């Protein structure tokens, strides 16, 4: 049985977390009845979570997809409503099943909040305690054959003090799905790619914020691009130059690799264009593909 851990923050402060308020389209979608889980999914997840999900309502139509895109999400949950982006409701696939498990965990967090207040809905902060708990629940559920095995019994579940839009972010995407096809960050300005340093490699959001030329971010970008780590110091020096393209070329990077590197570090397409490079060259660079026979476990 999951544990409810009540956080100390107030409802009003929780709704303002991250500084984002959900658009009206979200409220319009969850105001509709939706549809229940199919019989197989209901049985599958009830056995693993030890919870009756018969009151959960799914939304996977065109308007639901538009609302998911509006909050930069593959899927999101509010109260007992789970909303999917275009093509993301696929419980017959491993990733689709994981995605549904993650969102069902969020419905448990918000289970007592179905009759929500009229206040604006806040949007969760990626990597917060609620996201981490949902990840742990989803992983435990997917690893178990039935609830009689090792499931969610020992996983704590913080109870949300107010309704919120709980999104799936890059950290929740398995390695074999983390290939730059998912948008992330405010306005969908970033992309999910597999990166980081051993043993903490994971699916990460790149290009969604101001340029980050810190050593750790440059190192991660080089790893994603499959470039030599010996370039680290040279690339950092080049990025200190107002016009880094010449120095990046001198370091041996092709124009396409230079474009990909700059975009991964958070430079906008317009900034890349102002440097005299074509941002569309990024299509020539292979980024985020897992190695052959690589681990496909959830990040």
Helix (H, G, I), strand (E, B) or coil at 94: helix
Least confident of 155-164, 168-177, 208-217: 155-164
Q: How confident is the model at residue 106 (pLDDT cuts 50, 70, 90)?
A: confident
* pLDDT score of 195 more than 90: no
Q: How confident is the model at residue 269 (pLDDT cuts 50, 70, 90)?
A: confident
Tokens 């544990």 belong to 3
* pLDDT score of 82 more than 90: yes
Residue 161 lies in a domain: yes
Tokens 């956080």 belong to 7
Residues 197 and 160 reside in one and the same domain: no
CB 163, CB 117: distance < 8 Å: yes
Residues 139 and 209 reside in one and the same domain: no
* pLDDT score of 164 more than 90: no
Q: Tens digits of per-residue pLDDT, 30-39?
A: 999 999 999 9
Residue 299 lies in a domain: no
Q: Tell me the percentage of the chain whose pLDDT exceeds 70.
A: 63
**Closest CA relative to residue 203, chosen from 175, 224, 183:** 175
Helix (H, G, I), strand (E, B) or coil at 85: coil
Residues 140 and 187 reside in one and the same domain: no
How many domains is the chain partitioned into structurally? 2
Looking at per-residue pLDDT, the higher value among 80 and 98 belongs to 80
Residue 145 lies in a domain: yes
CB 67, CB 83: distance < 8 Å: yes
* pLDDT score of 256 more than 50: yes
Residues 155 and 248 reside in one and the same domain: no
Contacts of 110 (CB under 8 A, 6+ apart): 77, 78, 79, 80, 160, 163, 164, 166
pLDDT of residue 209: 54
* pLDDT score of 42 more than 80: yes
Least confident of 74-78, 96-100, 192-196, 281-285: 192-196
* pLDDT score of 18 more than 60: no
Least confident of 127-136, 147-156, 182-191, 207-216: 147-156
Q: How confident is the model at residue 221 (pLDDT cuts 50, 70, 90)?
A: confident
Residues 109 and 203 reside in one and the same domain: no
pLDDT of residue 152: 45
Decide which of 134, 168, 202 is a domain's last residue: 168
Q: How confident is the model at residue 83 (pLDDT cuts 50, 70, 90)?
A: very high
* pLDDT score of 24 more than 60: yes
Nearest-angstrom CA–CA distance, 238 and 92: 47
- Helices and strands in the chain: count of H runs, count of E runs: 11, 10
* pLDDT score of 1 more than 50: no
Residue 276 lies in a domain: yes
pLDDT of residue 255: 92
Nearest-angstrom CA–CA distance, 263 and 218: 11
**Other beta carbons within 10 Å of 237:** 12
Give CA separation, 237 vs 150, 182, 195, 240, in Å. 50, 31, 22, 5
Mean pLDDT of 48-60: 91
Residue 294 lies in a domain: no
* pLDDT score of 115 more than 60: no
Residues 137 and 217 reside in one and the same domain: no
Residue 290 lies in a domain: no
Residue 243 lies in a domain: yes
pLDDT of residue 203: 77
Residues 141 and 80 reside in one and the same domain: yes
* pLDDT score of 132 more than 80: no
Kindly give the residue spans of alpha helices, DSSP state H, lying in 38-145.
39-49, 62-70, 94-109, 129-143
Residues 89 and 10 reside in one and the same domain: yes
Nearest-angstrom CA–CA distance, 152 and 48: 7
Decide which of 124, 145, 168 is a domain's last residue: 168
Domain encompassing residue 141: 3-168
Give CA separation, 260 vs 127, 266, 284, in Å. 26, 10, 9
* pLDDT score of 207 more than 50: yes
Kindly give the residue spans of alpha helices, DSSP state H, lying in the chain.
11-15, 24-30, 39-49, 62-70, 94-109, 129-143, 215-225, 232-240, 245-250, 255-264, 269-274
Least confident of 96-100, 173-177, 178-182: 178-182
pLDDT of residue 88: 84
Nearest-angstrom CA–CA distance, 112 and 160: 9
Residues 98 and 180 reside in one and the same domain: no
Decide which of 103, 138, 168 is a domain's last residue: 168
* pLDDT score of 102 more than 70: yes
Residues 186 and 161 reside in one and the same domain: no
């Amino acid at each position: 049985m999951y544990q409810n851990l009540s956080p100390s923050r107030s409802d009003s402060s929780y709704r303002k977390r991250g500084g984002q308020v959900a658009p009206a389209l979200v409220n319009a979608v969850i105001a509709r009845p939706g549809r229940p889980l199919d019989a197989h999914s209901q049985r599958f997840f009830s056995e693993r979570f030890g919870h009756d999900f018969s009151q959960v309502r799914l939304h996977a139509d065109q308007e639901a997809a538009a609302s998911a895109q509006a909050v930069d999400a593959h899927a999101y949950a509010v109260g007992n409503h789970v909303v999917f982006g275009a093509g993301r409701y696929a419980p017959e696939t491993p990733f689709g099943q994981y995605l549904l498990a993650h969102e069902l965990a969020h419905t448990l967090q918000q289970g007592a909040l179905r009759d929500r207040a009229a206040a604006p809905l806040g949007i969760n902060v990626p990597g917060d305690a609620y996201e981490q708990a949902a990840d742990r629940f989803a992983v435990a559920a997917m690893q178990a054959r039935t609830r009689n095995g090792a499931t969610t019994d020992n996983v704590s579940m913080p109870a949300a003090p107010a309704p919120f839009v709980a999104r799936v972010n890059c950290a929740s995407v398995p390695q074999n799905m983390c290939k730059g096809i998912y948008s992330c960050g405010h306005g969908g300005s970033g992309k999910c790619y597999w990166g980081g340093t051993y043993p903490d490699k994971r699916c990460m959001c790149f290009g969604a914020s101001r340029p980050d030329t810190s050593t750790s971010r440059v190192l991660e970008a080089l790893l994603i691009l499959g470039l030599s780590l010996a370039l680290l110091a040279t690339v950092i020096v080049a990025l200190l130059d107002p016009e880094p393209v010449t120095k990046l070329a001198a370091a041996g990077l092709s124009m396409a690799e230079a474009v990909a590197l700059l975009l991964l570090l958070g430079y906008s397409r317009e900034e890349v264009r102002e440097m005299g490079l074509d941002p569309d060259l990024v299509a020539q660079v292979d980024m985020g593909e897992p190695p052959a026979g690589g681990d496909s476990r959830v990040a």
